[in-house]
Chain A
Amino acid sequence: GAVVSQHPSWVICKSGTSVKIECRSLDFQATTMFWYRQFPKQSLMLMATSNEGSKATYEQGVEKDKFLINHASLTLSTLTVTSAHPEDSSFYICSAIGLAAGVDTQYFGPGTRLTVL
């Protein structure tokens, strides 16, 4: 199956600093990647759709200037949480579209747990 990696797997930072999370498709090219946020014991909430070579499409209620997304290559998308605050603490998961039995399927990274002090 398709493999997606994320780095770092967990990060602790001080309030007001920026944090960059990388999402890579390791064995396939992904023109489209997705960024999700998940709070404890809740489902995944789609934040944005990242398209290679163009601007990301953000979901309603997600601040574009707060969560900067860059999809500079077919295998890498980054999410930067700018001026992080404790309420940004969450589990961030990316996914990339690969093929499973001829069907576009989202393959997920292992997630990044962000804690803002």
Chain B
Amino acid sequence: AQKITQTQPGMFVQEKEAVTLDCTYDTSDPSYGLFWYKQPSSGEMIFLIYQGSYDQQNATEGRYSLNFQKARKSANLVISASQLGDSAMYFCAMTGSSGYSTLTFGKGTMLLVSP
């Protein structure tokens, strides 16, 4: 079974600063994928970034980067230069080696960006 743990229920950051959202995972699958999604108050889940378990380099997408430490089983999301529009719920999720990309989600971290 897979498990995602997000230990930060809420985070505060000031505009233009960087913030790290923590995510640790547990799986027995040799191959897996790690995802981060953003859910603003509107409810839509927005895909942010993906990291494969065999990827040698950390994933980056614009202001988002994933700090992947395989030995520690962590996949923290780093948001650089925070913007007010980054205020939202953030979910870490993972897939295993099953064929249908079923996602296991963490409980989420609420990020609030202040001016």
Contact = CB atoms under 8 A, between A and B. Distances in A.
B102 A108 contact: no
A106 interface: yes
Contacts of A43: 91, 105-108
A82 B101 CA distance: 28
A101 B37 contact: no
Which secondary structure characterizes the binding site on chain A? strand
Interface string A39-65: 000111010010000000000000000
Nearest to B4: A43
B101 A110 contact: no
Interface string A5-40: 000000000000000000000000000101000000
B47 A110 contact: no
Interface string B4-23: 00000000000000000000
Nearest to B49: A100
22 contacts: A1-B47, A32-B101, A42-B107, A44-B91, A44-B103, A46-B103, A49-B100, A49-B102, A93-B45, A95-B45, A103-B50, A105-B35, A105-B47, A105-B50, A106-B35, A106-B47, A106-B103, A107-B47, A108-B44, A108-B46, A109-B44, A111-B45
